[in-house]
């Protein structure tokens, strides 16, 4: 797809300059928009903002979410597997329904639902990365049946691919720090949200 913008002297007044800048900005947004077939931005960059928000909300590393999306769908929001998993994080219909995902092909809906599911697996398996990834790929019942990583070639390869992309062997979430003043005027820094809510100024 080609774009041609021709500027003449008549269009170079101050007001017209603002119009041109606006059109160029709109064009830049369009070619980087996730659904645009003419996007020149890298696939990962398209979803950085959504992934960062989901990572903060659910306390997971954004790099891990990126790695799962890359392995699951290679950043294709319209991807559908032979088993029926769909979207960026390849959610099965039952999982999508459980986590309130109404449109699996909507990047934000899919990423937030998938990250919430990933958060639950992280809590269930006490941040054991291998078990979390095994459950994400093969299901919790398979992990329970084999009391560990299922001996499925696909699952074993999946774990290796995600970990290779992720570059770490553990799931380390970000700890949110809160600051407030106590009754004596001292600054208190804590990661305990309940203390913060109790003492913050209303």
What CATH number has the domain bearing residue 51?
1.10.530.10
Q: How many domains in the chain? A: 3
162 shares a domain with 63: yes
* Separation between Cα atoms, residue 181 and residue 53, nearest integer Å: 28
Confidence at residue 61, expressed as pLDDT on a 0 to 100 scale: 94
Percentage of residues of the chain with pLDDT beyond 70: 72
> Is 144 found in the same domain as 122?
yes
Q: What is the crossing angle of helices 62-73 and 153-166, to 10°?
A: 140
Catalytic: which of 72, 153, 157, 183? Answer: 72
Domain membership of residue 2 (yes or no) is no
Question: Which phi and psi angles does 80 have, rounded to 5°?
Answer: -135, 125
Whether residues 116 and 32 fall in one domain? no
Tokens of 156: 């074993």
Question: 75 and 124 in one domain?
Answer: yes
Q: pLDDT, tens digit, for every residue of 33-86?
A: 444 443 445 678 889 999 999 998 999 999 999 999 999 999 999 999 999 999
What does the pLDDT look like over 8-24, one tens digit per residue? 455 455 555 565 565 55
5: its two tokens: 């913008």
Assess whether 23 and 117 both reside in one domain: no
- Are both 115 and 136 inside the same structural domain? yes
Residue 64 inside a domain? The answer is yes
Confidence of residue 176 (pLDDT cuts 50, 70, 90): low
- Span between the terminal Cα atoms of the chain, in Å: 55
Residue with tokens 């696939």: 43
pLDDT at 184: 82
Give the pTM: 0.67
Asked if residue 201 and residue 118 are part of one domain, the reply reads: no
Is residue 5 in some structural domain? Answer: no
* 114 part of a folded domain: yes
Residue 139: Cβ-neighbour burial (10 angstroms; 0-12, 13-18, 19+): middle
Q: What is the pLDDT of residues 72-121, one digit of tens each?
A: 999 999 999 999 999 999 999 999 999 999 999 999 999 999 999 999 99
Report residue 47 as tokens: 């979803």
Residue 155 and residue 200 in one domain: no
- Domain hosting 178: range is 174-202
Q: Are residues 93 and 188 in the same domain?
A: no
DSSP class of residue 11? G
Strand partners, 190: 178
pLDDT in tens, 122-145: 999 989 999 999 999 999 999 999
4 located within any domain: no
Say if 3 falls within a structural domain. Answer: no
Task: Determine, yes or no, domain membership for 69.
Answer: yes
Both 87 and 111 in a single domain?
A: yes
Regarding whether 156 and 99 lie in a shared domain, the answer is yes
What is d(CA 171, CA 31) in angstroms, rounded to the nearest whole number?
Answer: 34
Q: Is residue 1 part of a domain?
A: no
Instruction: Measure the CA–CA gap between 92 and 112, rounded to whole angstroms.
Output: 14
Whether residues 182 and 196 share a domain: the answer is yes
Which DSSP letter does residue 68 get?
Answer: H
The dihedral region occupied by 84, where left means phi > 0, alpha psi between -120 and 50, and beta the remainder, is left
Q: Which tokens hold the place of 45?
A: 């960059």
d(CA 156, CA 165): 15
Active site (annotated) includes residue 154: no
Q: Around 180, how many Cα atoms within 13 Å sit in the side-chain half-sphere?
A: 16
Token output for 58: 């659910």
């Amino acid at each position: 797809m080609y774009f041609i913008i021709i500027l003449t002297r008549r269009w170079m007044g101050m007001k017209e300059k603002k119009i041109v800048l606006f059109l160029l900005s709109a064009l830049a947004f369009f070619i980087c928009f996730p659904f645009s077939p003419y996007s020149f931005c890298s696939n990962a960059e398209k979803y950085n903002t959504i992934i960062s928000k989901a990572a903060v909300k659910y306390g997971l590393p954004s790099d891990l979410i990126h790695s799962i999306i890359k392995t699951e769908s290679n950043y294709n929001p319209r991807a559908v597997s032979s088993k029926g998993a769909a979207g960026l994080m390849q959610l099965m219909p039952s999982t999508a329904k459980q986590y309130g995902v109404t449109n699996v092909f909507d990047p934000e809906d899919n990423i937030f639902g998938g990250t919430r599911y990933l958060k639950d697996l992280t809590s269930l398996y006490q941040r054991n990365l291998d078990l979390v990834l095994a459950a994400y790929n093969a299901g919790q019942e398979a992990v329970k049946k084999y009391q560990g990583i299922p001996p499925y070639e696909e699952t074993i390869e999946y774990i290796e691919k995600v970990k290779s992309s992720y570059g770490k062997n553990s799931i380390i979430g970000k700890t949110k720090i809160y600051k407030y003043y106590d009754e004596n005027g001292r600054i208190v820094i804590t990661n305990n949200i309940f203390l913060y809510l109790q003492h913050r100024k209303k």
